[in-house]
Amino acid sequence: MNEIRGVRKKNVVKIIQSLVKQGGCTKNELVFYTGLSLSTIDSLLEEMLKSNLVIKEGYRESTGGRPSMGYQVNGEFSQTLCIYAYKHDKTITVIGRLYNLYSEKMKERRKDVSKLDYEVLCSFIDEMLNAQVHTICLSLPDSDIDINIKNRYKQRILIENNVYMGAIGAYIKHMQYDSIVLLDSKGDSRLGIVINGHLVEGKSSIAGQTCFLHVINHEDYKNRRSMKGRSKRLVLELQNIIGMLNPEAIVICAQSIDEHYVEEELLKIFKMSDMPHLIYIDNYIDEVMLGMESISKDSLFDKMSR
C-alpha cells in the first residue's frame, strides 16, 4: 500500500512540474509531457481540483475538434519565503521576498538593522508569513541564530550560503552558458561555481573559498584601496579561476574596477578563445534570491514525491 501511495505522489509531482513549466496544459498535453496514461491524469486531476492545488483556466482555442479544457497550478497554493541579510558599512540589510509556485514575486520587504539577532529575525519572518508558505529559505551573515529558527516554525527551513545561491541564480539568469562562476570580490573574495547545472560545493563545502589559495600572499592581492590596486587584485583572481576552471562566463561583483585594464592584462596570459565572458554587477541580491527560490521549489517537489 505504501508503494502505491509513493507512486501516486510521484505522479502528482510530474503533473505539477509539467503544469508549472508549460504554464498550463490540457489533459492530452499532460499525457505527452508526463508519460502517464489518460486515465491516471483524469483521476489525479480530479483530486487536485478538489484540493484547489490545480484550477481550470478555461477552454483552449479549437484546432478543428472539440475545444479542450486547460489546467494550471494554483500558484497561491504553495509559497516560498526567501530572506537574505547582508552587511554593508555599519548596518545589516534584511530583504524578504515571497514567491508563488510560478516564481512570481508576490511581496517584498526590506529593513536596515544595526544588529541581526533571533528576535529581530523572527519579527521580520512573522510579518511576511502566511498560511500558504510551506518553505522558508534563509541566507544570513555569520550567525548561529538560524539553528533556533528551525525549532520555532513548522515550515521547512533551508539555510544556504549566499555565494552558492548567487551562483545558482547567475546560472538561471544566463542559461546560455553551461559553466558559470560568481565572484564576490568586494571583501574576502569567495566563489560560487556551477557546471552543467550542478553547484560545485566540494567534499566539505569549502569549494570557492579563496582564503585557502596561495594567491592571497601576493603583493597585488593585498592592495584594494585604489582602483588600480583593486583591478590588479581582480586580475590575479580571474587568472586563477580561468586557469583552474576555464568557465564560459564569470559574473563579477566588484567595486570601482578598470574593466579595460583587467581584460588587457588577462589577454597577456590567455588566448582570446580561452577567455570567459566577464559580466560585471554592483551586487548579487537578485541572483541570491533567484537561487534560493529555485532550490526551495526543488525541495518542495522532492518532499511531495516521497
pLDDT tens, position by position, 196-212: 889 988 887 777 777 66
Q: Say if CB 306 and CB 6 are below 8 A apart.
A: yes
Q: Which residues contact 306 (CB under 8 A, 6 or more apart)?
A: 6, 9
Place of cell 520587504: 109
pLDDT tens, position by position, 148-166: 788 899 999 999 999 999 9
Q: Is the pLDDT of residue 176 over 50?
A: yes
Identical fold for domains 79-159 and 164-282, yes or no, is yes
Across all residues in the chain, what is the average pLDDT?
88
Where residue 30 falls among pLDDT bands split at 50, 70, 90?
very high
Q: What is the CATH number of domain 164-282?
A: 3.30.420.40
Measure the CA angle with vertex 129, ends 123 and 130; round to 5°: 145
Q: Is the pLDDT of residue 305 over 60?
A: no
Domain range summary for the chain, segments of one domain joined by +:
1-73, 79-159, 164-282
Fold classified for 79-159: Nucleotidyltransferase; domain 5 (3.30.420)
pLDDT tens, position by position, 265-275: 999 999 999 99
Give φ, ψ of 201 to 5 degrees: -105, -25
Q: Which of 205, 285, 223, 215 is nearest to 253 (CA)?
A: 285
CATH class of 1-73: mainly alpha
Q: Which residues contact 45 (CB under 8 A, 6 or more apart)?
A: 15, 27, 30, 54, 71
In this prediction, residues 27-45 reach a mean pLDDT of 94
What are the grid coordinates assigned to 104, written together? 512570481
Give the separation between CA 26 and CA 45, rounded to whole angstroms: 11
